[in-house]
Every structure is written in C-alpha cells, then in structure tokens.
Amino acid sequence: MKGIGIVALAALFSATACGYPEYAKKHGSDVDTHGRYHNDQQDAEYHSGGYYQGLSHRSVMYFAPSKDVLVDEFLLGTLINECALDERDVVTMVITKDGFSSPSWVKDTFDYSKLVKMYDIREGDHTAVLIGKDGTEKLRWGPTTNWIQIKKTIDEMPMRRAEMARAASRCSI
C-alpha cells in the first residue's frame, strides 16, 4: 500500500511538474501551453541548479471519454510491452471522463477535469501523453498507440541513453 502511495505522489508530481505555465510566466519565462520552457539559459539553470531532482519514472497518461475498445487496446498494449516499459521506467495510467481508471487508484488521486485542462485534451478525444523524467511532455498521440515509436522516442532521450550504457536490455531474446 505504501508503494502505491509513493507511485501516486510521484505520478502527481509528474502530472503537475509541467502543467502550470502560469507559474513560469510569473517568473519571466516563455512557456508553451504544455508548460515547456523556451528560455534555454533559464531551463538549463533550472535543471542543473540543484533544486530540481527529476522523477524516478516516465509516465504515459491515456485520456478517453469512456472505457471502450480503444482503451482495451491500450491496456493490452501495456501488457504486451510490459518488460520494455518496466525497463524504461514507464508508469502507465488510463483515466476516462466516465470514471474508469487503470490502475484503479488513479481516479481517487487525480481529478479528470483538471488533468484534461492541464494537458489541453479536447472533449471526446482519445489522447495519450508521454511525460519524461524531467517532467516535460515528450510525445502526444491519438487513439491508437504505436509502441515501437514510444520506445524509440524514449530511447533517444539523453537520460535513457545513459541508462542503456550502464546495462544491457533484459527484455531482448
């Protein structure tokens, strides 16, 4: 139970780390609608200044209007790619407008309407968002998930390259 609470807290931080562009605007940064900094010097200072510790995982958040066949396909994809996602420290979450969530604690931890607003998800859309360990949005896609593209996107990240240099894949056969 304690582990779920830690994951929930980390996921909340992941979800909110890049979701408050108004905070950055107050401090003189230019950010887009997803909270990404565009002032390279300030961004570098933020990440190297010692007061940002990063996240222990990457997140994929899948938004949908209801639990339907597309949600089932996404969940099946997470099972099929479980080893690769675990190896890449990816936590997956599904949250729907009608109250379904996976894992089930997500609906108790997050407010769907706030997340939809934070990530600029259009009403009725199936949208997934990949959040990196630095708390920023790395990739966004629609109803169907291309797991090869997700793994490729993650593997091209500098932090992931360092992880791969330290250890060989345990998912290869």
Please list the pLDDT of the chain residue by residue as tens digits (173 residues).
Answer: 445 444 444 444 444 444 433 333 333 334 444 444 444 444 444 444 444 456 789 999 999 999 999 999 999 999 999 999 999 999 999 999 999 999 999 989 989 999 999 999 999 999 999 999 998 999 999 999 999 999 999 999 998 999 889 988 888 76
Nearest CA-CA partner of 77 in 138, 139, 145: 145
H or E element in which residue 63 lies: strand 58-64
CB 52 within 8 A of CB 173: no
DSSP states of 72-84: HHHHHHHHHTHHH
